[in-house]
Structure 1
């Protein structure tokens, strides 16, 4: 069985993924942004889950979480689930935090990044992006960036299985009660990529939707854009991939 970190697992898709992985016998590290939300994870803790707490809008909190995890039992996989749809936290939570965790964590051989169909509306341009969240950033841009990061990690770290998943527009707190997609299908693919030994799950560099590998925005596999993104994130955070 694997030891898997699921970020943003206090509710929604992250909670569903953590719950299902626990039920399958895996060791799970859940994550919440503050103590109040962490308290909602008590049922998972009662079933054996560990919990890390920290606000992904704060880079020091991300660094502290990574250090705490590096000091603990080695992780086999990370599901980068945490995300926000709007407001100034979009870039810090949706791309800076996943980048920093990827750069700082030692050991995980499987990385799964939550993308979105909205990434097709993103712009592969890095000039003028407010990485620190002083103003509202584009959700579509953030999801294009994190999908590109997944592809870049697959290329730059060939020993790591790195993939992006579009979970669909599902009825969560973020998606809203009228979202038309299937909540159950919305979390199964990332669990499978994080834990399965099936041949397809042992591939890398993919963009997945409900168990099927699909073609992402053309910029995702543009190696020059990947390199610019990784270089920009390294300069912005002072942390090299």
Structure 2
């Protein structure tokens, strides 16, 4: 039985991921933006609340997690699209939570096939990047951590274009397959590669070349440290 945290678990893929983990007997801590969005409160090991578009609330989320001890896995699922907060929610929040929380056994970051259209111009962190930029950068963060933190595996997952509120009712991909890879990576040992994979439906895929470029990984981490004022341990 694993202790797993899922961010953005009020609905969509995050909720489905949390439900699947709980159904498998794992202890699940869910994050939601505010209490009114919480579903099935009795199912969860715990709940943390905070708006990941606000740095002070990201810090509050990290503080709330300290009472649960070391997580076996943290699934960074929360994300937005078409919002002025896209960089804060999709990149800054997972970076800060990673920096502030105790190192878990496994880190899983939600990516997108759209990351391949993202920019490597990191000045856009402050100037206002796009959804594709945010997914390129968070994928790079995931793969960078795979080689930096001994004892913690790190992966990025493209869940597919699935029919959630973000994806839209006409999205063509399979909704159930959209969360199965995250659950598998977070709780199973028979994963190859054991760290540093970019996954889609339990198969590794080729990511944007920048994601595996060690120089760009270092530049991204330096840029995030400068942007937030928070160093990565």
TM-score by length of 2: 0.96
Cα pair 1:144 1:220 within 8 Å, conserved: yes
Correspondent of 1:175 among 157, 167, 184 = 167
Unaligned runs of 5+ residues in structure 1 are none
Residue pairs, 1:91-240, within 5 angstroms: 91-130=87-126, 137-200=129-192, 203-240=194-231
Following the alignment from structure 1 to structure 2, what is the Cα–Cα distance between the partners of residues 73 and 218?
A: 36
Unaligned runs of 5+ residues in structure 2 are none
- CA, structure 1 residues 2+124, in 2 after alignment: closer, same or farther (shift >3 Å)? same
151-160 or 166-175: bigger deviation = 151-160
Counterpart residue number, 1:65: 61
Counterpart residue number, 1:27: 27
Q: CA RMSD in A?
A: 1.3
Cα pair 1:85 1:139 within 8 Å, conserved: yes
Following the alignment from structure 1 to structure 2, what is the Cα–Cα distance between the partners of residues 27 and 96?
A: 26
Cα pair 2:139 2:211 within 8 Å, conserved: yes
Cα pair 1:76 1:107 within 8 Å, conserved: no
Q: Aligned residues, how many?
A: 232
Cα deviation per residue 1:56-99 (whole Å; 9 max; x = unaligned)?
01111111111121233321110000000112110000000000
Following the alignment from structure 1 to structure 2, what is the Cα–Cα distance between the partners of residues 69 and 198?
A: 27
